[in-house]
Amino acid sequence: MPVISFANAKGGAGKTTAALLLATEVAARGKRVTIFDADPQKWISKWYELPRKSPGINVVSEISPASITEQITLAAETSDYVIVDLEGTENLIVANALSVSDLVVVPIQGSSMDARGGAKILTLIKKLEKIVRHDIKHCVVLTRTNAAVTTRAMKAVQDFLSAQNIDVLMTPIVERAAFRDLFEFGGGLSGLDTSLVSGVGKARENASLYAAEILERAITVPRKRWYNVFKRAS
């Protein structure tokens, strides 16, 4: 079933948060999700060890550049969704994961550094499309936006993206304590203790709209399997 990867060549763009929000939303709808934790910080693997659980989610943290395409392809056969959280750089694991993705989500914060990190991934996707000989569907989600105002930097990022005809989700991921707190408490947003975490209701609404937009775009593309496409690439 669909493979959705989260990539931005810059760290701190909100990839891990966006990946976990999607996974917990989808699992809350009764789907089986496999998350590949290819972020060396291993935030999602640490989240998985917390006592509060999100049933239906399995996390794989042992990943190698040579095996990732095969691991992802096999997981896609037994999971409803495969979600891949990538490192904030361009490396072999990133290239391999993107090459087998049905959808690449590029989280971008309202900063020009983030937009440049996102642009690097968009360029990499164009190169990979020539190698794998099919389109790699992709979209941008704006992250850590302010619920009340659009900053000048955010406006500049939006203008930059629309000038390049990039598909940007209508729903940004708003800056919310609840999204950070998931990594402390474990599990998903539903049932978070509202006496400990503020704004859970608004966070749930935001996460649900965001996930719905991703799911509309995440459709499995039937194609030949690609095993170890870039095993020897530099």
Binding site for Mg ion (CB under 5 A): 15-16, 39
Pick 177 or 219: Cβ nearer ligand ADP = 177
Question: What is the four-CA torsion angle of 24, 208, 10, 220, rounded to 10 degrees?
Answer: 80
CB of 88 to Mg ion, least distance (A): 6
173 binds ligand ADP (CB under 6 A): yes
CB distance 3 to 72 below 8 Å? yes
Tally the residues of the chain: 234
Bridge partner list, 98:
none
Residue among 179, 185, 210, 230 that touches ligand ADP (CB under 6 A) = 179
Question: What is the four-CA torsion angle of 173, 4, 128, 108, rounded to 10 degrees?
Answer: 10
Residue among 17, 24, 96, 158 that touches ligand ADP (CB under 6 A) = 17
CB of 14 to ligand ADP, least distance (A): 4
d(CA 191, CA 233): 45
16 binds ligand ADP (CB under 6 A): yes
CA torsion sign, 106 to 109 to 113 to 115? positive
d(CA 6, CA 37): 11
CB of 175 to ligand ADP, least distance (A): 4
Helix (H) or strand (E) holding 173: strand 173-174
Pick 16 or 79: Cβ nearer Mg ion = 16
Phi/psi-derived region of residue 124, left when phi > 0, alpha when psi is between -120 and 50, beta in every other case: alpha
Chain residues 128-147 in contact with ligand ADP, contact rule CB under 6 A = 143-144
CB of 59 to ligand ADP, least distance (A): 15
176 binds ligand ADP (CB under 6 A): yes
CB of 94 to ligand ADP, least distance (A): 12
Interface residues toward ligand ADP, by CB under 6 A: 8, 11-17, 39, 43, 88, 143-144, 173, 175-176, 179-180
